[in-house]
Structure 1
Amino acid sequence: MDAKRLLEVILILVLHFQGISGRKFFLYKRPGQDAVLSCTTESSSPPTCSMVDWLYNRDQTETLTDVRNGNVEQNSARGARLSVNTDCSLVINNITAEDAGRYTCRQWGDGSTDVDTYLSVLTISPSPPDADPKRDGDVTLKCSLFRHDHCCLENSIRWVDETGAELLGEGDGYRVLQQTDCVSFLTVKRQSGHKRKYTCQVVDEQKNVKIEADYTPDFNDPNQIYIIIGGVVGVVVVLVVIAAVLIIHRKRANMTEDVLKPTQHPGEPESNLTYVTVNHANQQASSCKKVKKEEVMYSTVKSQTTEADEDPSSLYSNVRNPK
């Protein structure tokens, strides 16, 4: 092969690999957020989506196809959370730590290019996840950055308190463990009387914050527990006193009612007293002769009778003749 032919081959290879390499994007997200991965660069125009594939690499060992010819692969593990916009960008909803990795938008056809997006996901949680800070008065927080190569710069993960001050080594109520790969641990003590917020940050070489996540341990102050218990006991005592007062009042009311009720022997029917008043006037006097009118008033009192003793004398009549 002559020198001219060799130069042409080298030039074709250089242009080809320059086109495939395209451009790289770095995206940082937290679990539960949404992400939009672009398929174009600043100098390129939107491609034809029917000629676009989206490839996914969790690591460097396996490549999966999430989108083929502009359509989401339904058998993809993330298929239900993926969609493609009109500009062929890939949308990921409700991100999880397992979504971290490299996403490649591959455009087929003349001048095909690859646009790579490296998605990193930051998580923060107690360690272990089921740790109970109420048991021993402290808790260990774990901050992890999930990314494609699982490799982070030294001291790229740091902790700060609610004032923004960086926490280093061991201090008042906290201890920071040395960062290992992309994981950092912070152990904090109980903070009675107030809640403290701890923030995990990911920074670049210039100490610019790329992403951060907050966590506020849910400590219960023992004094607050005693106050709550005392309040509950106080309420119970008040309810018991009120119930006792009501019972005593009810008993007194019943006793008063029994005293006022007339005494009645068992088996005796309830006595009935009937009062009858009769006024009688002589209505046959002549209208022209003045006659002295007589008025008579009758009163009848009926007392209770029994089957064993029926005495006519129990019926009394009183006749009063007014003068």
Structure 2
Amino acid sequence: MADKCDLCLLGLIILSSLLTGISGVDDHVFISSGEYVRLPCNNALSDCKSKTAWNYNSFRRSAAVELITGGIKNKDTERHERLSLESDCSLNIKNVTEEDYGLYICQQWIYVNGKDQRQGPDARVYLHVLHVSVSPSSSSSSSSSSSSSSSQTGISPGRSVTLSCQLYLYTGFSCDDLVSYEGVELLWVNQAGVDLKTDSRYQILSSSDQYHCIIITLTTTLLNEDNNREWRCQLTHRNQLKTSVRYTVKYSGEKTVLEEPHNVSNTKVYQYH
């Protein structure tokens, strides 16, 4: 029994170290796809334009990508046009996509004795992206490049629709630990904020895979009264709302639009201590 307790304690210590990070405090930013996000650099020096470097790590890449070097954007990166560096060394990303999730590292460099030297600890920011997709898809569907919205035509009463809400989350620990110890949760709710699991007309299923730490799908058959009805996928951490995506049903040849609610602060940054 003592051995089992020792193993449990060791597991909690390891989890705590992963949440805390090498520098003592890591920033975790939750954002919905299509939005604008600011990633803070907590080790900033006075001259960010000449001394700052931002690197990006993802499970989908074998090596880190240099986004900013010496305060200058690297033009050979695919997200070059969507990046900008602020005077406080923070990194801005516009029109966030699910491909942007990952670990961003801000480093500061100074010139000493004829060569560059890294100054202070790295500032680590984990960017987690919430994204919703709709099926079955339509050949006439389209998407917007300037906002987190997609549209689908051909939707009508009597059709079955499935909304898949996916959290692209970069961590050094398992999804089970994230849910159990940190209380991260995805929910489908109606306009009043009521959990749709309480309504038998909706099938709600949760799962995970290699890239999506949490997936929650909503499946239902559309009714006549569903026109202009709104469903929201919301992400909570320890029962506090972090970000959400809403889906509004449109009939009579109108487009079905997936859009961000305006009353949610999507650039909320919180820290694991």
TM-score normalised by L of structure 1: 0.55
CA gap 1:175/1:96 in 2 versus in 1, 3 angstroms = same
Residues 85, 91 of structure 1: 8 Å contact kept: yes
Amino acid at match of 1:213: V
1:189 aligns with 2:221: yes
Alpha-carbon deviation of 1:114?
Answer: 0.6
CA gap 1:75/1:111 in 2 versus in 1, 3 angstroms = closer
Amino acid at match of 1:115: A
CA gap 1:80/1:45 in 2 versus in 1, 3 angstroms = closer
Residues 125, 215 of structure 1: 8 Å contact kept: no
Q: SS at 2:156's partner residue?
A: helix
Aligned residues: 200
Residue matched to 2:245: 213
Residue matched to 1:21: 23
Residues 103, 126 of structure 2: 8 Å contact kept: yes
CA gap 1:148/1:173 in 2 versus in 1, 3 angstroms = same
Q: Identity of aligned pairs, percent?
A: 29
CA gap 1:48/1:220 in 2 versus in 1, 3 angstroms = closer
Of 115-124 and 132-141, more deviation after overlay is shown by 132-141
Alpha-carbon deviation of 1:178?
Answer: 2.7
Once residues 173 and 220 of structure 1 are traced to their aligned partners in structure 2, the CA distance between those partners, rounded to angstroms, is 23
Once residues 158 and 63 of structure 2 are traced to their aligned partners in structure 1, the CA distance between those partners, rounded to angstroms, is 44
Structure 2 gaps of 5+ residues are 1-19, 110-116, 139-151, 254-273
Once residues 97 and 83 of structure 2 are traced to their aligned partners in structure 1, the CA distance between those partners, rounded to angstroms, is 13
Residues 19, 112 of structure 1: 8 Å contact kept: no
Alpha-carbon deviation of 1:168?
Answer: 1.6
Residue matched to 2:207: 179
Alpha-carbon deviation of 1:104?
Answer: 0.4
Once residues 87 and 22 of structure 1 are traced to their aligned partners in structure 2, the CA distance between those partners, rounded to angstroms, is 21
Q: SS at 1:80's partner residue?
A: helix
Residue matched to 2:38: 36
Deviations 1:131-173 (A, max 9, x none): 854385221111011122494526711111112111227x343
Residues 48, 87 of structure 2: 8 Å contact kept: no
Residue matched to 2:188: 159
Deviations 1:96-133 (A, max 9, x none): 11111111001134642211111111111312433854
Once residues 120 and 19 of structure 1 are traced to their aligned partners in structure 2, the CA distance between those partners, rounded to angstroms, is 16
Q: Which has the higher contact order (CA 8 A, sep 6+)?
A: 2
Q: How do residues 198-209 of structure 1 correspond to structure 2 at under 5 angstroms?
A: 198-204=231-237, 206-209=238-241
CA gap 1:62/1:190 in 2 versus in 1, 3 angstroms = same
Residue matched to 1:98: 99
Q: How do residues 255-294 of structure 1 correspond to structure 2 at under 5 angstroms?
A: none
Q: What is the RMSD computed on CA atoms of the aligned residues?
A: 2.9
Alpha-carbon deviation of 1:80?
Answer: 1.3
Once residues 76 and 251 of structure 2 are traced to their aligned partners in structure 1, the CA distance between those partners, rounded to angstroms, is 44
Residue matched to 2:131: 123
Deviations 1:240-298 (A, max 9, x none): xxxxxxxxxxxxxxxxxxxxxxxxxxxxxxxxxxxxxxxxxxxxxxxxxxxxxxxxxxx
1:55 aligns with 2:55: yes
Alignment match of 2:163 (pick from 135, 141, 147):
141
Deviations 1:297-322 (A, max 9, x none): xxxxxxxxxxxxxxxxxxxxxxxxxx
Deviations 1:160-200 (A, max 9, x none): 1112111227x343111133342110012223134321110
TM-score normalised by L of structure 2: 0.64
Residues 97, 123 of structure 1: 8 Å contact kept: yes
Pick the structure with more strand per residue: 2
Residue matched to 1:67: 68
Residue matched to 2:83: 82
Residues 40, 47 of structure 1: 8 Å contact kept: no
Of 173-182 and 100-109, more deviation after overlay is shown by 173-182
Once residues 71 and 197 of structure 1 are traced to their aligned partners in structure 2, the CA distance between those partners, rounded to angstroms, is 43
Pick the structure with more helix per residue: 1
Alpha-carbon deviation of 1:45?
Answer: 5.4
Once residues 138 and 128 of structure 1 are traced to their aligned partners in structure 2, the CA distance between those partners, rounded to angstroms, is 8
